[in-house]
Amino acid sequence: MAKVLCVLYPDPVTGYPPAYARDTIPVIASYPGGESVPTPVSPLGFRPGSLLGSVSGELGLRPYLEANGHELIVTSDKDGADSTFDHHLPDADIVISQPFWPAYLTADRIDKAKKLKLALTAGIGSDHVDLKAAAAHGISVAEETYSNSISVAEHVVMMVLSLVRNYLPAHQYAVNGGWNIADCVSRSYDVEGMHFGTIGAGRIGMAVLKRLKSFDMHLHYMERYQQPEEVESKLGLQFHATPEELVAHCDVINLQVPLYPSTEGMFNDRMFDHMKRGSYLINTARGKLCDRDAVVRALNSGKLAGYAGDVWFPQPAPVEHPWRSMPFNGMTPHMSGSSLSAQARYAAGTLEILECFLNHRPIRPEYLIVDGGQLVGTGERSYQLA
Ligand code: NDP
């Protein structure tokens, strides 16, 4: 029998929803590139389209786990030495956590988690786990690759349009009873003809480029390895070898690289110096990719005309975090990868991984980050230990 400790975000302040805005969600047959969607053997313990990522939703895992004699503890209380998470961690076999409400598995916590064998991310992005410590302790780390990539790409497109067209302030004028056309349009532009560049053109970055192609923007990308010529010519992509070169050419910049030691703080005062005045920056990758205070300075100086994203550090962000109140921001809590549609996919993927792990069957390589003391599968391609 395994003890599964699952950390999820709190239920809505109005309580767990008794009903939803829509009755169904579309069925997605496969991901771009042909990878299959999750295929657990056991029946899903939830109705697709319901709220699964909050405490009462339990990722729909209870029926499967209890029917097979396992214990499931679900909590949102994750920070501080007296948290429910820390209380249960020493005898947990499996920890499940979402990047939106991460249970930070630091080296210290891993030291205390003597029985821990699997750290499972419901979603994508396992940087809340100290991967080096996990590898050293023989803990496997897994996530559901592709489960919410398109959800995030859609959010990025929304933020590009919202910032450039000045949607959020204009909406606020309408809500407040105003008809201030001049106020609404004095910062509003068309994206057509602008230069858009993504730093990181993997699953999400590439999906964003594909979607923005139809807006007749000039498309740029930067990553460590250049894409094949056929991919570049299909989308009309211009490659840049360094982030500094890309930002100097672009009006709208998107960050879509994983967070690891060498990408932390990538966007700092020096990087902003390379940008055009009035650039827009979107970050749905990880908050720590940007120097928090340098972003605020760049907005105040006009170097940035807008900043939007849904990732912060730490999460949840403290009430006084300056990104909540800085000018021209389109920030949201970390939500882009947790739409009801995405939740159905990553909850099914979590079930698939649990079934494999508990029945000693191999987990798909595309879901594995760390195994046998080293980076493997997606981990090998998308993460670094130092
Ligand atoms: P991928 O691994 O598919 O893509 C990452 C890309 O970054 C790759 O193309 C890689 O290319 C590039 N890259 C890696 N290191 C560098 C570097 N130092 N400089 C430039 N490029 C680099 O990841 P995804 O697209 O699936 O996700 C990207 C990130 O988005 C995740 O790491 C995660 O942090 C975040 N995310 C956020 C979500 C949310 O809800 N907001 C949900 C899901 C993910 P190459 O190796 O050629 O350099």
Residue 368: per-residue pLDDT: 98
Indicate if ligand 1 lies below 6 Å from the C-beta of 102: no
For the whole prediction, is pTM greater than 0.95?
A: yes
User: Which pLDDT band holds residue 135 (cuts at 50, 70, 90)?
Assistant: very high
Q: Do 3-148+338-376 and 149-324 show the same overall fold?
A: yes
The confidence score (pLDDT) of residue 113 equals 98
Predicted pLDDT at 112: 97
Query: CATH fold of 3-148+338-376, please?
Result: Rossmann fold (3.40.50)
Would residue 374 show up in a list of annotated catalytic residues for this protein?
no
The class (CATH top level) of 149-324 is: alpha beta
Whether 33 shows a pLDDT value over 90: the answer reads no
Do the bridges between strand 3-7 and strand 94-97 make them parallel or antiparallel, or are there none, so unpaired?
A: parallel
Domain ranges of the chain: 3-148+338-376, 149-324
Q: Name the average pLDDT for the chain.
A: 97
pLDDT band at residue 35 under the 50/70/90 scheme: very high
Protein residue with its CA nearest to atom 4 in ligand 1: 202
Pocket test for ligand 1, best of 35, 121, 124, 227 (most atoms within 8 A of CB): 124
Pick from 52-56, 281-285, 378-382: least confident: 378-382
pLDDT digits (tens, 9 = 90+) for 201-238: 999 999 999 999 999 999 999 999 999 999 999 999 99
The SS3 call for residue 376 is coil
Residue 382 in contact with ligand 1 by CB distance below 6 A: yes
Look-up of token digits 């809340």: 128
Q: Does the CB atom of residue 209 touch ligand 1 within 6 A?
A: no
User: What's the one-letter identity of residue 302?
Assistant: G
Average pLDDT estimate for 3-15? 98
What average pLDDT does range 138-152 have in this prediction?
98
Does residue 13 surpass a pLDDT of 90?
A: yes
- Mean pLDDT, rounded, for 288-304: 98
Closest atom of ligand 1 to CA, residue 124: 43
At residue 18, the pLDDT reads: 96
| pLDDT on residue 260 | 87
Token code pair at residue 246:
């890309």
Helix or strand or coil: residue 80?
coil
In this prediction, residue 81 carries a pLDDT of 79
Q: Give the pLDDT mean for 378-386.
A: 89
Quick check: 386 pLDDT over 80? no
Q: Which of 98, 148, 166, 256 is catalytic?
A: 148
46-64 b/e (C-beta count within 10 Å ≥ 16 → b): bebbbbbbbbebbbbbbbb
